[in-house]
Every structure is written in C-alpha cells, then in structure tokens.
Structure 1
Amino acid sequence: MHSTKNDLPQDTRVAIISLCNARLADAIDLQTQCKQAHWNVRGATFIALHELFDSINEQVEDFVDLIAERAAQFGGAVEGTARTAARRSTLAEYPQARSGRDHVDALSSALAAFGKSIRAANDESGRLGDATTADIFTEVSRGIDKWLWFVEAHLDNEG
C-alpha cells in the first residue's frame, strides 16, 4: 500500500481496497457484457437495444472508474486488467445470444447479479465504518437498478 493521510484505520482501508477490487472485476465484466450485447443484437428492435446497451456501457464505465479510484484513494493497487477481471468476476458467463429478447434476458440477469453484489458491498462498507465508500456503492446501485428497469421493460409484451 502507498501511504496516505486518510484517517480511516489501515485495516479498514485494506478491507475496502479488497472489496473495491472484487467489485471492480464484476464491473469490468459487466461493461464487456454490455458491449457484447451491443455488438451482437439482431432483430426488429435492433436500434433501440443497440443504443440502450451502449448507454448502459457508458454509465458502467463511469462506475468502473469510481470503484477503481476509491481503492487508489486508500493507497491500494487497483487490479483492473481484463485477465484479472475474467479470473475474479462473480458474474455468469455471457451466453451465446442473437435475438433482442435473448440479449435482454442475458443482460438483465447480469445487471441483477451485479446489483446484488453491489448492495452487499454497500452493506460491508457500512459495517467497516466507511460511509463514503458505502455512498459510492449506493450511487452505483441506484444506477444499476435504473438500467435493469430499462432493460426489463423490453420483456413486457403486454404493453
């Protein structure tokens, strides 16, 4: 760890760095899954989904940066390579999908799983006494819940 004058105890900072790196792997994986959907979607709803998936990717990229920078603020080494993310991500592998509905189903599952892990990270940050990191995870959770809502809206055939 690099030294810092941050007043949180070192053991708290070490735990938060680890937590951030774990969720960073998931966030990087989610970002690549958004692009996978964006590049491969086909069908009558192509343009709407293509643009939606790219918008999600852009915000997830911001979340990647927020999480990574929080680990760095505590003097931690950020572990954000593609290989590290692939090895550490807790998200399911993105399936072979082609139709819009298949991508909507796959991406909504990834968003839901990521949202769950982010809420757990929020709770853990609070238990560790780091309200600022908990606030970051709240911001991420709020955004992911919004995007999950947008994606799941494409599953409603009654509307």
Structure 2
Amino acid sequence: MATSQTHRMFRTRVDLPTEQREKLVDLLNQHVADSMDLYTQVKHAHWNVKGRNFYSIHELTDTFAGELIPFIDEIAERATALGGHVSGTLRMAAESTSLPEYPNDLVDAIDHVHALVERIGIYANSVRAAIDQAEELRDKDTADLFTEISRLVDKRLWFFEAHLQGND
C-alpha cells in the first residue's frame, strides 16, 4: 500500500478540515490505483482465458471490467472535489497498488477464476475498510461512494466464487 502522498491541495468550500481532506485524498488515490490495477488484471484474464468455462468467464470478466471503469472515475473525481490531486496514470497506479501481480502463465478458466477471486477479495475487503475510514473522517459522501462500490464488488466476487464452489 502506498505511503502518504505529497499533498497538492486546492482551495475548496467543502467544509471538512484540510487535514481530514488530505487523509481522504490519500485514501481515494489508493483506491484509484487499486481499481485501475484490478481493471487491468480482469481484462488480462478476459483476453487470455481458455478451457471448458471459457465463454462464461470471458463474458463475466468483460462485464466486471466495464463496471469498474465508472468507479475509477468517481473515486478520482471525489478526490478532486475535496481539493486533492489525483495520481492517475497507469504507471502511478502500478507503483501504488496494494494488489498482488497477476500471474502471466495462467490459461485454464478455473485457474484464472482462482487468481481473480484472490484479487477481488483483497479489493472488496479494502473497499469495506475504506467505508469505515471515510466515516471516521466524517465524510459521508466518500463513505457512500465506497458503499456503492462494495455492493457491486461483493456481488461480482460471489459470481466468480460460484465457479469454484463444489469444486474445492
């Protein structure tokens, strides 16, 4: 996980103290990085999946990747609404992500599902923790954004895990 960013803050009339906004921007930037990384890992699986469950995993990964894109934008825009600066390039995300690197040697659909379940689970738990952090910093709007993301990510995690249940 990334350490505290250099704070480049802009004036805003959002009535949260600057110190709280800086912490929120750090939290949001971490989730921009993690979300971008998860998106690219899901697309990697989408492009490279093979085997018996090819079609269902190919479609599920494409759907999920498409759902992540708007969240990346909303997370970044929330950071800027708080007067923050977004670290938003792919290279910046790669330097800051808390997700493990995706294995480059996977082929079989179920192997991809195992790798994705691990990463989606880490991400889902991180988003849930972010809800609590935003609430502790008294920012209900950021907590609400993370709650919305959490609902979708938990649902997608269930869809991926369902491919493994009964096969363990």
Aligned length: 158
Give 1:24 shift: 1.1
1:64 aligned onto 2:72: yes
1:10 aligned onto 2:18: yes
Identical counterparts, % of pairs: 47
**Secondary structure at 2:130's aligned position in 1?**
helix
- Equivalent residue, structure 1, for 2:137: 128
Consecutive unaligned residues in structure 2, runs of 5 or more: 1-8
Distance 1:85 1:49 in 2: 25
Give 1:14 shift: 1.0
Distance 1:99 1:26 in 2: 25
1:38 aligned onto 2:39: no
Give 1:74 shift: 1.0
Distance 2:40 2:142 in 1: 24
Give 1:156 shift: 2.6
Give 1:157 shift: 3.9
Distance 1:157 1:9 in 2: 50
Two-structure CA RMSD over aligned residues (Å): 1.0
- Equivalent residue, structure 1, for 2:57: 49
Give 1:13 shift: 1.0
Amino acid at match of 1:114: Y
Consecutive unaligned residues in structure 1, runs of 5 or more: none
* Most deviating of 3-12 and 33-42: 3-12
Distance 2:150 2:123 in 1: 9
Q: Which consecutive aligned stretches of 4+ in structure 1 deviate over 6 angstroms post-superposition?
A: none
Of the three residues 4, 21, 32, the one matched with 2:29 is: 21
1:115 aligned onto 2:124: yes
Distance 2:106 2:93 in 1: 22
Distance 2:82 2:99 in 1: 26
- Equivalent residue, structure 1, for 2:147: 138
More helix by share: 1
Amino acid at match of 1:98: V
1:80 aligned onto 2:92: no
**Secondary structure at 1:155's aligned position in 2?**
coil
